[in-house]
Amino acid sequence: GAVVSQHPSRVICKSGTSVKIECRSLDFQATTMFWYRQFPKKSLMLMATSNEGSKATYEQGVEKDKFLINHASLTLSTLTVTSAHPEDSSFYICSAIKREDTGELFFGEGSRLTVL
Amino acid sequence: QQQVKQSPQSLIVQKGGISIINCAYENTAFDYFPWYQQFPGKGPALLIAIRPDVSEKKEGRFTISFNKSAKQFSLHIMDSQPGDSATYFCAASTGTYKYIFGTGTRLKVLA
């Protein structure tokens, strides 16, 4: 199967700082990546769709200035949580679709963000 | 119409038993129905998926049953093992690949 890698897996930061999370497709090119947020014992909430070389499409209610997404290459998308606050603490998961699509999503391992 | 309703919320099964998780959807445009398994602190991993042109798909101990007219699909885990204890999510998507996830089922298989 395809491999999607996220880094860091855990990050703790102070309130007001910015945190960047990377999502890489290791063995395939991904024209489209997705960013999800998951609260404890809850389902995955789609935050935004990231397309290589273009601006991300954000879901309703997601602040684009708070959650900056960049899809700089066919193998890398980044999520930057700007001016983080404790309520931004969550589990962030990225996923990617292979270029030769089968409709199958491959998920990263997730990144646990804790804002103090 | 974009929701995928999943039940039960939690499930306890004896080792060797059958675990059954159900999902229902409204949007007839959905054309891909995957099931994901998630362990604590990890990302979801694809278990098995089905498209509407078949009514059942089996891979090892995992079977998806799909009822297009009822707009329902279910996951059956045969011979359930303690290692199957995890949270299971159904999902549905259209050609846009925007997945709509169910609310999840926490499965616990007793040894």
Tell me which of B101, B103, B105, B108 to substitute to probe the interface with A (most A C-beta atoms closer than 10 Å): B101
> CB contact, 8 Å: A7 with chain B?
no
Whose CA is closest to B35, among B96, B68, B84?
A: B84
pLDDT at A72: 84
What whole-number percentage of chain A has pLDDT above 70?
95
pLDDT tens-digit map of A35-80:
999 988 889 999 999 988 888 999 999 999 999 999 888 899 999 9
> Under DSSP, is residue B36 helix (H, G, I), strand (E, B) or coil?
strand
Does residue B32 have a pLDDT over 70?
yes
Whose CA is closest to B36, among B109, B105, B110, B108?
A: B105
Higher pLDDT, residue B108 or A31: B108
Contacts of B93 (CB under 8 A, 6+ apart): A103, B30, B31, B32, B34, B99, B100
What is the CA angle A37-A42-A47, rounded to 5? 20
* CB-CB under 8 Å, A6 with B43: yes
> Under DSSP, is residue A12 helix (H, G, I), strand (E, B) or coil?
strand
Higher pLDDT, residue B97 or A70: A70
Whose CA is closest to B108, among B74, B65, B77?
A: B77
Higher pLDDT, residue A101 or B39: B39
Nearest 5°: phi and psi at A30?
-120, 110
Contact A41, A98 (CB under 8 A): no
Does residue A100 have a pLDDT over 80?
no
Tell me which of A107, A109, A112, A114 to substitute to probe the interface with B (most B C-beta atoms closer than 10 Å): A107
User: In angstroms, rounded to a whole number, what is the distance separating the alpha carbons of residues A21 and A6?
Assistant: 7
What is B6-25 written as a DSSP string?
Answer: EE-SEEEEETTS-EEEEEEE
Q: List the single residue in B32, B43, B101 with the smallest CB-CB distance to A110.
A: B43
Does residue A101 have a pLDDT over 70?
no
> Under DSSP, is residue B5 helix (H, G, I), strand (E, B) or coil?
strand
Instruction: Look over chain B and give the mean of its residue pLDDT values, rounded to a whole number.
Output: 94
pLDDT at A103: 67
Does residue B110 have a pLDDT over 80?
yes
Which residue of chain A has the CA closest to B99? A46
pLDDT at B1: 60
* CB-CB under 8 Å, A44 with B97: no
> CB contact, 8 Å: B34 with chain A?
yes
Most trustworthy range by pLDDT among A46-60, B67-81, B92-106:
B67-81
pLDDT at A110: 95
Q: Are strands A4-7 and A10-13 parallel, antiparallel or unpaired?
A: unpaired
* Residue B7 distance to chain A (closest CA, Å): 13
User: In angstroms, rounded to a whole number, what is the distance separating the alpha carbons of residues B61 and B78?
Assistant: 5
The band of A102, judged by pLDDT with boundaries at 50, 70 and 90, is low
